[in-house]
């Protein structure tokens, strides 16, 4: 049975979803998993909605955050084995 859309929280803004699609299209990226969101948080003064910052390398990929219109959104970027550093560099160039 489908869940009605009314009253459901949409965790990512349009700009964040565009950034996620760009990341998913990079060579070496298997997929992007959207995690928790934190309202009222910011990446800093110069961060715009949709900005992505990679935080660290973890087994299987990268942990990152994106600036949404209401705060920060956690991301896990699943990468192919041996491609993590290359993907990190490409994300910083976006």
pTM: predicted TM-score of the whole model, two decimal places: 0.83
Chain segment 61-83, per-residue pLDDT in tens: 999 999 888 888 899 999 999 99
pLDDT at 1: 45
pLDDT at 4: 43
pLDDT band at 12 (very low <50, low <70, confident <90, very high): low
- In our burial notation (b when 16+ CB lie closer than 10 A, e otherwise), range 35-56 reads eebeeeeeeeeeeeebbbebee
Q: Compare 1 and 17 and report the one with higher pLDDT.
A: 17
d(C-alpha 18, C-alpha 12), whole Å: 10
pLDDT at 6: 44
Non-local (6+) Cβ contacts of 56 within 8 A are 62, 63
């Amino acid at each position: 049975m489908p869940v009605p859309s009314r009253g459901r929280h949409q965790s990512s803004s349009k700009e964040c979803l565009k950034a996620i699609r760009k990341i998913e299209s990079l060579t070496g990226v298997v997929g992007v998993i959207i995690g928790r969101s934190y309202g009222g948080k910011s990446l800093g003064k110069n961060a715009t909605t949709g900005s992505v910052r990679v935080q660290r390398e973890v087994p299987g990929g990268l942990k990152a955050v994106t600036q949404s219109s209401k705060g920060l959104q956690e991301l896990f970027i699943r990468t192919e084995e041996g491609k993590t550093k290359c993907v990190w560099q490409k994300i910083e160039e976006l």
